[in-house]
């Protein structure tokens, strides 16, 4: 389990770095576009398109990082009203529904990526599949991180079933 957690931590750091880098490039390109349009009086053809595509990628990659840190907006009022014994199953059900949704996004995202492969972007003249690939890639990481959220429950059940003591319990 430790290797899995280290791999997930590494993937999260990579996704976060890619999102930050994409955002930095978007800021620079947007500033360049404004400078060339209003100061040089000659607009560039590619920055708007690159900014738009990088935004799509940064949203999906950033959403995965936010999901891992449980930073998405949630309506916790209803869960707070539940008795303590029902909170964990309701949250697990919600997480399971998210997993199903992410799996659907992956399947249909891959279908769309293959469908739009021949389509070229207007300014960059690259395949639109590179842009649309953000959907299944981001959904894949969101699915993995949602599965990770279920791991503590699974680890606790396995530990209880085997009767072993976790290292944290043995220390204290």
d(CA 99, CA 153): 16
Burial grade of 150 (CB within 10 A; 0-12, 13-18, 19 or more): middle
Task: Give me the pLDDT at residue 162, please.
Answer: 56
The end-to-end CA distance of the chain, in Å, is 21
pTM: 0.82
Contacts of 90 (CB under 8 A, 6+ apart): 79, 82
Mean pLDDT over the full length of the chain: 88
Q: What are phi and psi of 46, to 5 degrees?
A: -95, -25
pLDDT digits (tens, 9 = 90+) for 14-53: 999 999 999 999 999 999 999 998 999 888 888 899 999 9
């Amino acid at each position: 389990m430790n290797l899995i957690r280290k791999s997930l931590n590494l993937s999260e750091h990579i996704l976060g770095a890619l999102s930050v880098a994409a955002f930095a490039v978007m800021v620079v390109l947007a500033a360049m576009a404004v400078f060339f349009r209003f100061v040089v009086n000659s607009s560039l053809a590619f920055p708007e398109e690159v900014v738009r595509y990088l935004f799509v990628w940064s949203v999906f990659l950033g959403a995965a990082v936010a999901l891992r840190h449980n930073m998405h907006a949630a309506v916790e009022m209803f869960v707070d009203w539940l008795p303590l014994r029902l909170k964990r199953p309701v949250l697990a059900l919600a997480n399971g529904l998210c997993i199903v949704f992410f799996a659907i996004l992956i399947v249909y995202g891959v279908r769309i990526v293959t469908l739009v492969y021949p389509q070229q972007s207007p300014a960059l003249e690259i395949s639109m599949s590179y842009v649309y690939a953000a959907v299944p890639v981001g959904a894949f990481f969101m699915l993995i991180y949602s599965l990770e959220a279920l791991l503590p429950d699974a680890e606790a059940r396995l530990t209880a079933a085997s009767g072993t003591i976790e290292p944290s319990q043995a220390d204290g």
